[in-house]
Each structure stands twice: as C-alpha cells, then as structure tokens.
Structure 1
Amino acid sequence: MALLDQFGRPMKPAVLREEISGPSLTGIRRHYDEVVASGLTPGKLASILREAVEGDADAYLTLAEEMEERDLHYRSQIALRKGVLLGLEPQVEAATDEARDQEIAEAVRDLIGRPQFSEMIEDLVDGLGKGYSVAEMIWDTTSTPWEPGTYKWRDPRWFLFDKVDRTTLRMKEDGAFNGVDLPPAKFIVHIPKLKSGIPIRGGLARLAAWAFMLKSYTLRDWAEFAEVYGKPYRVGKYGPGASEDDKAVLLRAIRDIAADAGAMIPDSMMIEFIEASNRGEPVFGSLAEYLDKQVSKGVLGQTMSSDDGASRAQAEVHNGVRMDIAKMDGRQLGRTISRQLVIPFVLLNYGPQKIYPEVTFPVPEPEDLKALTDNLAKLVPMGLRVGTSVIRDKLQIPDPQPGEEILVAPASRPAAPVPVEAPGRAAAAALGPVCAGCGQRHALAASAPTDPLDSLIGAALEGWERPQRPLFVKIRSEWMAATSYDDLKVRLDALAGSLPVAEQAQVLAVMTMIARGLGEAGPG
C-alpha cells in the first residue's frame, strides 16, 4: 500500500532518499555568474522587475543577491530582521494530551533538535529578501524513525512559478517549458507572505530595489565630487596672439600641476586658481541618508533602532512595531515547518493522524525589569506570594550553587523568636513586648528606642487565647452540627447575640482608651 501525503499524493521511499535537484555543469540548474547590478539604470531595473512578474525571475533573484553584497545598509537591515527570526527557539505543541500524541510530539522535538535543522532554518529565512527559499530533504530510511538526514539549500533560480497560476513553485527541467512538479515530502518551500498577491512580488529586495539604484547613482556622484573637492579649479590664460602650440603647452602645464604640483609656462601665460565650493556633501549625504531611512522602514517597519537616536519613549513604540513583524515572521515560518516537514515526518513514521503537532516560533515579550522589581518591593510586604524560580527566570539569574556565597540585605537580622511560655516574667520584660506580627518575643537591641504602643500591644496579646477559647468552642460546635452552608449561616446568625465576648470587649476598650491617651499626650 502506497504512502500518501496530506494531499493524497504517493510518497516514494526511493525518491525520498535521492538528491533530485542538484546542480549540473551544463544543464538548466547550474550556478550563475551573471552580474546585474553593475550599470543598473531605471529602464533596466523596470525591465528586470517586469520580467520577474511575467515568469522569468532569474535577473531579479541575481539582483536581490547582489544588493545584499553591495549595499551595506540594506545588508545590515535585512540581516537584523533575519537575526531576530533565527534567535527564536522553536517549540512543539502536541495535538492532544493523549499518550500517543505526546509520543509523536516528543519525536518531533527530537527532529527539530538536530543541528542540521537550525542550519536549514538559516537558509529558509533567505526568502524574506527574494520572496521564497527552497531546501531539499534527503531522507535517511536506513533506521527508524525515518527523518531527513540532510537539508540542502537550493538556488531559487533553479525553480519557477507556474505560468498559469503564478503561485505554485515548480522545478526547472531541461525541455520542460513550465518546469516539473515538486515530488511530495522532498522540498521545504518557505514563501513569506509580506503582502497579498503573487509570491515573487513580495520579497523585500523588490521593495528596496529602486532605493538601491538611486543610492548607487548618489554614491558614484559623491565619489566623483570627493575626488576633486579641495583641489582648486585651474584656469589657464593666454594672450590674443597665442598659437595652437602655445595653447597645448598651457593645457599640458595645467594637467601637470594637478598630477605633479608643478609646471613650467612662458611669461606671456598665466594660471589662476579658484577655490571649490563645499556644496556637494549636504546634497549627496542627505539623499543617501533619506534613501537608507526608506529602506529601514521597508525592511524593519521603522527607523528608530537602526538610524535615529530618538527618545526612549519613541524607541519603545517603534520596537513594538518590530515586535509585530517578528511575530508575523515567526508565525509564518512555524506554519511552513509544520506543513512541509512535521506532517510528512509523522505520516511516514506514525501514519495519518486526525490532528498533527504544530511547530511554533514564539516571540518572548520584553520585560520591564525595573517595573517588576518596584512592584515586588511594594506587593510582597503586603502578602503577595511569588515563586523565586519565576522571578529568577525573568531576571535571568541562575539558582545559587551549593556552598556559594549568597547576597543578603545589609540590615541586621532579628534574633530567633522565643516562645511566650519559655521565659518567666523577668526574662519576658528583658526580651521586650510580644510581637504583633508573629505573637513571639524578640530580643531588642540595646540602643533601639522603645515605643509605648509596642508595650501596649504586648500587654493586649498577653494570654489572648483564654478569652477567645469559649468563642471558638461555640463556633466549632455549630460548624460540626451544620448540614449545609445555608444551615451554617442560620446557626451563626442565631449565635451572634449569645457569644461570651464581654471579657474581650473590656480588654479592647481599655487598650483603646490608653492608646488615645498616649496619642493626645504626645511624645515624651
């Protein structure tokens, strides 16, 4: 029985093991050496872009590669966008919590953990500039599970889009005008959808091509200006009776001054030096800077992180735009891997599944660490319980090793609490009042000032269990006798007026009176 992919096409093991799209010396799939960017003109660029849309994208793809080699700014911006994507850690989400689906997901995790997988991802992100990228999978079927042993990058010029729908990628073949179908489970084709329409129009190189051409003109003119800038113009003057030979002597002298800083001329002739005006740099520099900013906007969606030294608030807003782009790129790359690698892998090793695992490239949200620490400083003393492992992960602080010196707060720690029952009255007086926070007594520093309210609170907490015990006994009795929540509410309501609270109320009243008196008397 033939193995079928998710589209019902047979997957042939013999084909899976073969390398079917390798280069050739004389055939249609050969390494290209053409140069397109040299001598690029508006008319030539328009023709290249038009031919790419009509089905012949070889010149456009060559130009896209040369742009990354010749324009430092475009190279840095697209490398930054690729780098953000390559820095994302892939994750595998199992189809369900069932044991079988968990087993399949674990196998997929092993698959994407291979070194060759990350290298293949580096090739796939090349599609951001050109519009698409292709990697061929050479499957290893000698052992189980069957998986790609090698991923080989393929030159995008070895492929073409179907002449009819212009969206289906096909492989070039000698004698095949419209190419041939890509065999199932053999290729990973990443087509970043940066805009709606046919894929060849979606590459970032197409977006930046006009800026690249104009900047090339600008830099060439700027270089010519810089070559003569600073050198004075040399004007030779001859008399009305000068012969052609005299004029030739004067011209040669002007040229010799430029090359050798010296020349010899007759007394009847004169060479005048005119200082050059510094008007070229503002024009050329401003135009080149403007074009670079447009490229940054097209590639990264903003300029703050690449060109401008703007305020922090502006940079945070623009970094948010980059975050959105990174999320989009990661989502699309995960979709490509899930559909074109994970599903064939699962089909070949585990058979058809109702739901398949998904590979994602999640973008972690940036943490405002200062706001986090400020909030913890305020909320933890109020009783908020926070796991230290969570905070360590957010702050990227590893757990301390056994025996490692630990940082502690500079304030001295209080002495260990002593149970109330342990000391006698004299010892209790020496230790100080009962702590309102924990009900224990703590040794006080000799120099620590005492507060009358501390002694008052300590006195109020002395023997607090005795007056409270009758209340707890009655409430517990009703709790144990209640048959439901509503029944307990009725019992507690009936009990409210008969609880023995007189002694506790008297203690609270006396303490309130004393505290008020201390407050009115003031310090001292």
Structure 2
Amino acid sequence: MPELVWPNGRPMRRSDLTREIAGPTVTGVRQVVSGHPAQGLTPGRLAALLREAEEGDPTRYLELAEEMEEKDLHYRSVLATRKLQVSQLEITVEPASDAKEDVANAALVEGFLERDELQEELCDILDAVGKGFSVTEIVWETSERQWMPARLEWRFPQWFQFDRRDGRTPLLRGDAGPESLLPYKFVLHIHKSKSGLPIRGGLARAAAWCYLFKNYDIKDWVAFAEVYGQPLRVGKYHPGATEGDRKTLLKAVANIGSDAAAIIPSSMLIEFVKADQTGSVDLYERLAEYLDKQTSKAVLGQTLTTEVKEGSRAAAQVHDGVRDDIERSDAHQLAASLNRDLV
C-alpha cells in the first residue's frame, strides 16, 4: 500500500493529529516567558524591532504588541471592542446542498459551534487583528472511533515565523529549526487590514508610534504634576563652602518640598521663587487625547463612540456605519479562515 502524504509531501501519520505539536517547552525555543521590549523603548529601538519583524524575526515586535495591550488602556479597550464585537456575532451554518449527507454534516458543525468555549476561542483567533496573524492548534478527540475537535488551543505568536523567501508562509519554531504547519492541525488566521506582508498588517504596528509618544507624554505629565504649583527652591552658599556643604544644601533644597522642613548651616540660604504658570498647563492632556484619537481611528475607524462629546445624530450614524463596515470585513475574514482550516 503506498504511503499517504500531506500536501506538503510530509508522510501522513495518525500520531501527528492525536498529539499537541505546538505546545510550550521548558528549555526549548517555545517558552511561555517572553521579553519586555517596551521597557526603555526609544524611537530608534522601535524602528529597529519593526525592521526585524519584516526581515523575518518578529519576536520582539510581537512581544511589544502584547505589552501594548497590557500597558495602554485605551488601545486595549478599542482593540477588545473590535474583537468582542465579532466574536459575539451569531454564527450560521449552511449545508452545501439539500442532500441528506450535507445536511447531516452541517448539523455536525453546528453542534461543535454551540460549545460554550467557542466565543473565547474566536477571540483568541482574532488576536490576529492586533498582531497581523494568529495560529490556533486543533486538539482532536478520537474516542468512539470518530474525529472531532475537542478544543482550539491558542499558541503564542512568538513561536512562529514566516518563511524568509516569501514572507507569507507560516513556520513553527522548533529546536531543530522552523517546520511547516501540518494540515488539519492548525487554524491560521491572517488579518488583512492592508495589502502587503502579513506581519505588517497588524494594527499594533500602526499604533506602536502613538504608544511610544504617549509614553513620553505621560512620563513628562507626571513629572510636571509632581512640582506643579510649587515655588522654585534656590539654595545659596558662600564662596568658601566645601563640597560637603554644597551636597548638604542640595539635599535640603531637593527634600524641602516633601519634608516641609530642612536643617542647613547658618552660612547658607534657601529662597523660594514664585513659579510662573502663564503657559498652557493642559498641553500634556491634549497631546494624550490626540494620540488616543489616532489610535481609535486606526482600530475602530472612528472616534465618536470612544469620545463623549457633543455631536450631531447624523455624524454618529456615519461613524457607526464605518464601524459596521469593519465588523463585516472582520467577520468575513474569520469565516474564511474557519471554513478553510476547521470546517
């Protein structure tokens, strides 16, 4: 009997379908512990990791995309809104024909889709909206001599990469090198928000610069708020003051704002100069709001549903229409991936 092979030429083995292929490892390349590139992120470092991603190593970019969802509450909110809106849509299954077998197959698929876990699994698959792609492993149930998906297990996107030759073929990272994905074992969802390479299609890539500049803005805003309204503290020392005397005075000037008391030599003096607050004190807030609006436009296609401000009913309806278009597109892309890899 000739040996059965997958479409990629790899021998077909039952054991490949009955075990988890892309699970985590303790010491290998697929570990659940990841890096934190958002720490100390600068424009130069951000540009470098974005280039790494399109050149075939998306690890740091994908780690940053995950951190963005954890640290930027606005980005997390609008991205979750987009994913949840699609994952909660009602799913219908249409038989290929009126034939008895096709109707029975449709009923079988409907039974699987009625599982309580499906919404969470769809939300995991829609992780591709932010990162550009997602890979979910199908864990098969083979009891009672029938094959049924038991669950859909989300896998860390850092455990995958794209073939450097075309930038489109996904590969599973392994200790022996990257491997092709086996058919009938994975649901590959590539979210297409723009034309080009899949790794460049995620919304995290578009929102990364707003995330970086907002981080700078918030940091400066907090520093500004810490000293806002406080007078400028000036310490004066006589020409013969020693290095130790100057350090003592500097420490007293630095701490007097919080301690409200200080001890210095009688030969030194601390003066308070009234702070000039004629400038615009809401600059930081306006910049943060502007960056949040740009993120909302990128993720939701509009800002009206995230910003509670005066607006006409007609404007709200137009913005909702744009959002409906995005919802339909996301739903069609998700349905195509499920029909291809699962149904």
1:271 matched to which residue of 2? 271
How many angstroms apart in 2 are the aligned matches of 1:197 and 1:34? 27
- Is the contact made by 1:10 and 1:184 (CA closer than 8 Å) also made in structure 2? no
Structure-to-structure mapping, 1:166-245, within 5 angstroms: 166-176=167-177, 179-237=178-236, 242-245=239-242
How many angstroms apart in 2 are the aligned matches of 1:228 and 1:125? 44
1:199: how far off? 0.3
How many angstroms apart in 2 are the aligned matches of 1:272 and 1:88? 63
How many angstroms apart in 2 are the aligned matches of 1:149 and 1:52? 33
2:319 matched to which residue of 1? 318
- Is the contact made by 2:29 and 2:159 (CA closer than 8 Å) also made in structure 1? yes
How many angstroms apart in 1 are the aligned matches of 2:247 and 2:167? 64
How many angstroms apart in 2 are the aligned matches of 1:158 and 1:205? 18
1:384 matched to which residue of 2? none
1:278: how far off? 6.0
- Is the contact made by 1:11 and 1:184 (CA closer than 8 Å) also made in structure 2? no
- Is the contact made by 1:233 and 1:276 (CA closer than 8 Å) also made in structure 2? no
How many angstroms apart in 1 are the aligned matches of 2:140 and 2:186? 11
- Structure 2: any 5+ residue segments left out of the alignment? none
Matched, 1:289 2:317: no
1:279: how far off? 3.4
Q: Which letter does structure 2 place at the counterpart of 1:307?
A: E
Structure-to-structure mapping, 1:17-416, within 5 angstroms: 17-176=18-177, 179-237=178-236, 242-245=239-242, 250-251=249-250, 253-263=252-262, 266=266, 269=269, 271-277=271-277, 279=279, 281-309=281-309, 310-342=311-343
Q: Which letter does structure 2 place at the counterpart of 1:243?
A: G
1:145: how far off? 3.8
How many angstroms apart in 1 are the aligned matches of 2:122 and 2:270? 69
How many angstroms apart in 1 are the aligned matches of 2:269 and 2:306? 56
Q: Which letter does structure 2 place at the counterpart of 1:78?
A: L
Aligned in 2, Cα 1:47/1:248: closer, same or farther, shift over 3 Å? closer
Deviations 1:66-104 (A, max 9, x none): 000000110001011011111101110111122222121
- Structure 1: any 5+ residue segments left out of the alignment? 343-524
1:224: how far off? 0.9
1:323: how far off? 0.1
- Is the contact made by 2:95 and 2:106 (CA closer than 8 Å) also made in structure 1? yes
1:10: how far off? 6.9
Return the structure number with greater relative CO, CA threshold 8 A, min gap 6.
2
1:154: how far off? 0.9
Aligned in 2, Cα 1:312/1:51: closer, same or farther, shift over 3 Å? same
1:153: how far off? 1.3
Identity %, equivalent residues: 46
Q: Which letter does structure 2 place at the counterpart of 1:301?
A: G
Deviations 1:412-460 (A, max 9, x none): xxxxxxxxxxxxxxxxxxxxxxxxxxxxxxxxxxxxxxxxxxxxxxxxx
Aligned in 2, Cα 1:242/1:9: closer, same or farther, shift over 3 Å? closer
Q: How many residues matched?
A: 338
How many angstroms apart in 2 are the aligned matches of 1:80 and 1:270? 54
Moved more, 48-57 or 24-33: 24-33
Q: Which letter does structure 2 place at the counterpart of 1:41?
A: T
How many angstroms apart in 1 are the aligned matches of 2:320 and 2:314? 10
Deviations 1:377-417 (A, max 9, x none): xxxxxxxxxxxxxxxxxxxxxxxxxxxxxxxxxxxxxxxxx
Aligned in 2, Cα 1:280/1:340: closer, same or farther, shift over 3 Å? same
Q: Secondary structure at the match of 1:79?
A: helix
Aligned in 2, Cα 1:330/1:274: closer, same or farther, shift over 3 Å? same
Deviations 1:33-62 (A, max 9, x none): 311001000100000000000000000000
Q: Secondary structure at the match of 1:143?
A: helix
Aligned in 2, Cα 1:270/1:100: closer, same or farther, shift over 3 Å? closer
Specify the structure having the higher radius of gyration (Cα): 1
Aligned in 2, Cα 1:250/1:183: closer, same or farther, shift over 3 Å? closer
How many angstroms apart in 1 are the aligned matches of 2:220 and 2:193? 34
Moved beyond 6 Å, runs of 4+: 1-10
- Is the contact made by 2:231 and 2:272 (CA closer than 8 Å) also made in structure 1? no
1:132: how far off? 0.8
1:285: how far off? 1.0
Q: TM-score if structure 2 supplies the norm length?
A: 0.91
How many angstroms apart in 1 are the aligned matches of 2:11 and 2:292? 49
1:20: how far off? 1.3
Q: Secondary structure at the match of 1:279?
A: coil
1:202: how far off? 0.3
How many angstroms apart in 1 are the aligned matches of 2:257 and 2:121? 56
Aligned in 2, Cα 1:268/1:167: closer, same or farther, shift over 3 Å? closer
C-alpha RMSD of matched pairs (Å): 2.4
Q: TM-score if structure 1 supplies the norm length?
A: 0.61
Q: Secondary structure at the match of 2:138?
A: strand
Moved more, 251-260 or 285-294: 251-260
1:149: how far off? 1.4
- Is the contact made by 2:235 and 2:268 (CA closer than 8 Å) also made in structure 1? no
How many angstroms apart in 1 are the aligned matches of 2:285 and 2:56? 37
